[in-house]
Each structure stands twice: as C-alpha cells, then as structure tokens.
Amino acid sequence: MVSCSRCGRYYDSSTDSNTLCFSCRNKVDTISANVVKIEDGTILLRQLLWLNHGCDLKYLYGDDGEMQCTKCKIDFKRFSAQEIEDNLTGSNIKDSKPVSS
C-alpha cells in the first residue's frame, strides 16, 4: 500500500505503477479532457476571428497552421486576446503629433 501523491489516500500499488489513486486519476482525466475541449474551442474562435475580422482574404496568411494578417500585422495564433483587441480597435496606436516640415 502507498499513499496517493494528490490526496494522501492509501491504495494498492501492486497492480498499478501510477502515483495517484483511482479517484484522483479520474479527476485528472476529466480535467484534462475539459482543457482539451477549451483549447479546441479557442482555436476555432481564433480561426473564425482571423477569417472574418474585416481584411480582404488576400492579406491572410495561413500556411502550416498560421493565422496572420499581413495588413493588420495581427498574429491570431500567438497574440493574446488583449493584443488582438488592441490591434483591431486601434487602441495600440499611441497619440502622436504630426511631424512638421
């Protein structure tokens, strides 16, 4: 008998080399499955935003799983949600005075 590394319950390790008891393994498996679902949903939403954010398709680069717009300079795959929003709304552009000649 060994104790579970997560909850401390004792379980029979003679048939299992895992460090978690059966109950904890089930919880971890469920959490892992939910994380995969969230990640899949996030990828889908990023793809939809990339394809429909307003720039012409000729500016979109999508080889090898990339999701970039060459006109907006937005990387829909790597930028955070805040960075994408800032670029789309223009809030990333600093107020600047025109250069006088």
pLDDT tens-digit map of 42-91: 999 999 999 999 999 999 999 888 999 999 999 999 999 999 999 998 86
Q: Which residues of 75-92 are buried (b: 16+ CB within 10 A; e: fewer)?
A: bbeebeeeebeebeeeee
Residue 7 is predicted with a pLDDT of 82
Q: Is 65 left (phi over 0), alpha (psi -120 to 50) or beta?
A: left
Helix (H) or strand (E) holding 11: strand 10-11
Q: Which residue has the higher pLDDT, 99 or 8?
A: 8
Closest CA relative to residue 53, chosen from 65, 39, 70, 41: 70
Q: To the nearest whole number, what is the mean pLDDT of the chain?
A: 82
Q: How many residues are recorded in the chain?
A: 101
Distance, CA of 80 to chain centre: 8
Residue 60 is predicted with a pLDDT of 94
Distance CA 44, CA 46 (A): 5
Residue 14 predicted with pLDDT over 60 = yes
